[in-house]
Amino acid sequence: MPRAVSWIWMYCAVHVALGAIAYAHFLITGSYQYLTWYFVIPGTLFFLVTAAAEFYLAFECRAGFDVDEPMRMVWTTITLTSSARFLAATLIFLDHWRFARVPASPLLVLGLTPPQSLAEIGEVIGGPIAMVLLAFALGRVLAIQREFGILRGLTRADIVLICLIILFTLGEAANIERYLGPAYPRRSVAQAILWMSDPILGFLLVEAVLIRRSAHRIGIGLVSKCWGMYVIAIMATLAGDAAIWGAGEELFTQNLVPLTWYIWFFVAAAYASAPAYQLAAMKLPQLPRSELNDSQKT
């Protein structure tokens, strides 16, 4: 495993272990005190660090391609995606610190009060906007894969999956239409954009399935692992979204709901690992033979 990927997942493991202690405290005492502290402070810090790492690694990958190479555009878009996620993490971080009233908060020290809509703006940038950019980048990857004959056609299972996603999107649209009636308060532009998350996620899932098929065809190398990480991140995002829906529909007990929040840490770690694999592939041929043999053993 490349060193950067090991660091990301080690940080994730330590962070989740810390979260397990907070969760155990919640289960034993029933108090949300430590659980809230964990998600507001180390939790938002984790998103900030992984988004920053993702941005740096994606930027380095972009620099490895010349301007006229097709993958340059892909990595430029992925760099924009990661910068959107980083900006979103920063806005949500600021919002949480305001909410948490942490004594050492720089905002309190400076006497600043961030606007109420900060988290909502962050959700829009880190959600639908980042997803649209990623969908464009993955679309370009699929086009390049098709050019080289790596891309496989849709199987019957893929077609069924796409039909299910279309049905799900239509169902969502029907639900949204219900909330647009006069009985409900007028929705903000941010909320209207956030409604687009699920259809875009569905589209990303289709792309992820196609990329997964291609990766299966070519085998498991560093480049395949890079695109495999995006597939894992998209699948985990879908699982996180499904958990939010399940919690809203009261499908889980109160004790289980906080457990579903941990999914988002794996999403962030997977997103950061993807460019780390690509960069490892680009740097591997420069390694001296001794280090190459070492990396082969791990």
Partner 1 sequence: MERGKLPTKPDLALSPAVPVQDLVADELSRKMQTWSEAWFGAGSGETSAEQSRLRQRLLFWLKRLLGDDAGTMLSENTQDLSLAKSTPLLTAFLGRKAMVEVSRRVLNDE
Instruction: From 20-28, 110-118, 131-139, 143-151, give the range in contact with partner 1 by CB under 8 A.
Output: 143-151
Is residue 297 within the footprint of partner 1 (CB under 8 A)? no
Q: Among 9, 49, 64, 100, indicate the residue that binds partner 1 (CB under 8 A).
A: 64
Query: Mask: binding to partner 1, 145-164, rule CB under 8 A, as x and -?
Result: --xxxx--------------
Is residue 178 within the footprint of partner 1 (CB under 8 A)? no
Q: Among 189, 285, 297, 298, indicate the residue that binds partner 1 (CB under 8 A).
A: 285
Is residue 27 within the footprint of partner 1 (CB under 8 A)? no
Tokens (6 digits) for 294:
């070492």
Is residue 219 within the footprint of partner 1 (CB under 8 A)? yes
Nearer to partner 1, 113 or 296 (CB): 296
> Total number of residues binding partner 1 (CB under 8 A)?
28
Nearer to partner 1, 115 or 221 (CB): 221
Is residue 224 within the footprint of partner 1 (CB under 8 A)? yes
Tokens (6 digits) for 158:
């893929």
Q: What is the 3-state secondary structure (H, E, C) of the chain?
A: CCHHHHHHHHHHHHHHHHHHHHHHHHHHHCCCHHHHHHHHHHHHHHHHHHHHHHHHHHHHHHHCCCCCCHHHHHHHHHHHHHHHHHHHHHHHHHHHHHHHCCCCCHHHHHCCCCCCCHHHHHHHHHHHHHHHHHHHHHHHHHHHHHHCCCCCCCCHHHHHHHHHHHHHHHHHHHHHHHHCCCCCCCCCHHHHHHCCHHHHHHHHHHHHHHHHHHHHHHCCCHHHHHHHHHHHHHHHHHHHHHHHHHHHCCCCCCCCHHHHHCHHHHHHHHHHHHHHHHHHHHHHHHCCHHHHHHHHHC
Q: Among 30, 66, 156, 182, indicate the residue that binds partner 1 (CB under 8 A).
A: 66
Nearer to partner 1, 181 or 285 (CB): 285
Q: Among 142, 215, 268, 276, indicate the residue that binds partner 1 (CB under 8 A).
A: 215
Is residue 69 within the footprint of partner 1 (CB under 8 A)? yes
Could you give the count of Cα atoms lying within 13 Å of 222 in the half-sphere of its Cβ?
A: 19
Nearer to partner 1, 118 or 141 (CB): 141
Is residue 291 within the footprint of partner 1 (CB under 8 A)? no
Instruction: From 7-15, 109-117, 129-137, 220-228, give the range in contact with partner 1 by CB under 8 A.
Output: 220-228
Interface with partner 1 (CB under 8 A): 64-66, 69-71, 144, 147-150, 215, 217-224, 281-286, 289, 296
